[in-house]
């Protein structure tokens, strides 16, 4: 695997970082995960826009690679040929003697790598996925895509130990999001997902799905989802850049709706994938 580190492309085993890196010491950094299909990025501009927003929110100047991020990430993809892949891009406040306050002068650390996107197996698409609920124990700025993910790690591990793929988080009796996904519920004919705010990540897939469904006249609402609503939903879906749209068919050991992936999920996935193909057929602006 070839990775990108601070301006260079090199084999992963040759990439070295200082133990004084603030990403390592404090989790002082942010990241993006950007999907690509057949060698082309999907929603790259939107991901770079969110990257900039995260940097602004943590008061970190944007590192500006000479070629620009789009060219760096495209080159990384070319150097790791294969099927559908995601690019992970992490920026930290760099390496400096350990002190919580920002260092007076430190160059940001820029790191990127490529991972395969596993296709959804037919078997799993027919059965759907199990999820569990857990209290949301994260901080008050979950809208920042921070690399400090310990509560998310613990929540996902808890889910895996229960034979589930995701932990769905609840705060104050309301749904927030998954450990690494946004959550949608289907109620009657309506598709509902929590509104944006500091308690959830503004998911790129969430936004794209909402826009695609609304364009086709679906009733989509962004409003609070009570725990009781989640538990009585006809369908529950998860969205993320690496998973697109997954149906949750078992929640805390109980069936969701019929216990099979719902009809709305199948239709929504079709709308999503058609919109993705259209969007990828339109040349990207390359705007940075
Ligand atoms: N995670 N919420 C959280 C907490 C996430 O970590 C993610 C994605 C999402 C979905 O956002 P998007 O649609 O922009 O991928 C929501 C990535 C994939 C990860 O950490 O690997």
pLDDT value of position 124? 77
**For residue 51, what are its two tokens?**
């990257």
- Determine the atom of ligand 1 nearest the C-alpha atom of 47: 14
Antiparallel, parallel or unpaired: β 85-92 and 109-116: antiparallel
**Percent of the chain scoring above 70 in pLDDT:** 98
Residue 145 among the catalytic residues: yes
- Determine the atom of ligand 1 nearest the C-alpha atom of 152: 4
Q: Which residue has the tokens 């538990």?
A: 231
Provide the residue ranges of all domains of the chain, joining segments of one domain with +: 2-116, 122-278
206 touches ligand 1 (CB under 6 Å)? yes
CA of 126 to the centre of ligand 1 (A): 24
Write down the architecture of domain 122-278 according to CATH: Alpha-Beta Barrel (3.20)
Closest to 90 measured CA to CA, from 120, 116, 119, 58: 58
- Whole-angstrom Cα distance, residue 103 to residue 96? 6
Antiparallel, parallel or unpaired: β 244-251 and 254-255: antiparallel
**For residue 50, what are its two tokens?**
């969110």
**For residue 176, what are its two tokens?**
């927030």
**For residue 175, what are its two tokens?**
């749904």
pLDDT value of position 226? 98
Question: Which one of 14, 67, 145, 243 is the catalytic residue?
Answer: 145
256 in Cβ contact with 230 (< 8 Å): no
Is the pLDDT at 284 greater than 80? The verdict is no
- Whole-angstrom Cα distance, residue 73 to residue 87? 7
What angle do helix axes 263-281 and 204-215 make, rounded to 10 degrees?
A: 100
Is the pLDDT at 125 greater than 90? The verdict is no
pLDDT value of position 147? 98
90 vs 38, which has greater pLDDT? 90
164 touches ligand 1 (CB under 6 Å)? no
- Whole-angstrom Cα distance, residue 279 to residue 286? 14
- At 46-81, the pLDDT tens digits run 999 999 999 999 999 999 888 899 999 999 999 999
Lowest-confidence pick of 161-165, 252-256, 263-267, 278-282: 278-282
252 in Cβ contact with 10 (< 8 Å): no
242 touches ligand 1 (CB under 6 Å)? yes
Quickly count: other Cβ atoms within 10 Å of residue 229's Cβ: 14
**Percent of the chain scoring above 90 in pLDDT:** 91
Q: Is 217 left (phi over 0), alpha (psi -120 to 50) or beta?
A: left
Buried b (16+ CB within 10 A) or exposed e, 129-160: bbbbbbebebeeebbbbbbebebbeebbeebe
- Whole-angstrom Cα distance, residue 282 to residue 278? 7
What CATH number does domain 2-116 carry, 3.40.50.2000, 3.40.50.11540, 3.40.710.10, 3.30.470.10?
Answer: 3.30.470.10
């Amino acid at each position: 695997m070839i990775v990108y580190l601070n301006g260079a492309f090199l084999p992963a085993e040759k990439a070295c970082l200082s133990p004084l890196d603030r990403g390592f010491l404090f989790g002082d950094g942010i990241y993006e995960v950007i999907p690509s299909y057949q060698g082309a990025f999907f929603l790259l501009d939107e991901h770079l826009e969110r990257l900039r927003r995260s940097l602004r929110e943590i008061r970190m100047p944007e590192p500006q690679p000479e070629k620009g991020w789009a060219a760096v990430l495209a080159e990384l993809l070319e150097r790791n040929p294969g099927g559908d892949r995601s690019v992970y891009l992490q920026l930290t406040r760099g390496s400096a003697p350990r002190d919580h306050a920002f260092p007076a002068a430190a160059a940001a650390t820029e790191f990127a790598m490529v991972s395969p996107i596993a296709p959804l197996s037919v078997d799993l698409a027919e059965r759907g996925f199990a999820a569990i609920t857990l209290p949301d124990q994260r901080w008050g700025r979950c809208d920042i895509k921070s690399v400090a993910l310990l509560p998310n790690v613990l929540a996902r591990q808890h889910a895996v130990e229960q034979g589930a793929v995701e932990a769905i988080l609840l705060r104050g009796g309301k749904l927030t999001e998954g450990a690494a996904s946004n959550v949608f519920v289907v109620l009657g004919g309506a598709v509902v997902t929590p509104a944006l705010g500091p308690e959830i990540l503004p998911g790129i897939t969430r936004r794209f799905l909402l826009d695609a469904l609304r364009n086709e006249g679906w009733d989509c609402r962004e409003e609070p989802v009570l725990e009781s609503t989640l538990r009585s939903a006809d369908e529950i879906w998860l969205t993320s850049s690496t998973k697109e749209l997954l149906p949750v068919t078992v929640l805390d050991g109980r069936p969701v709706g019929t216990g099979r992936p719902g009809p709305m999920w199948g239709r929504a996935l079709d709308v999503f994938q058609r919109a993705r193909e259209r969007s990828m057929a339109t040349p990207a602006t390359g705007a940075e």
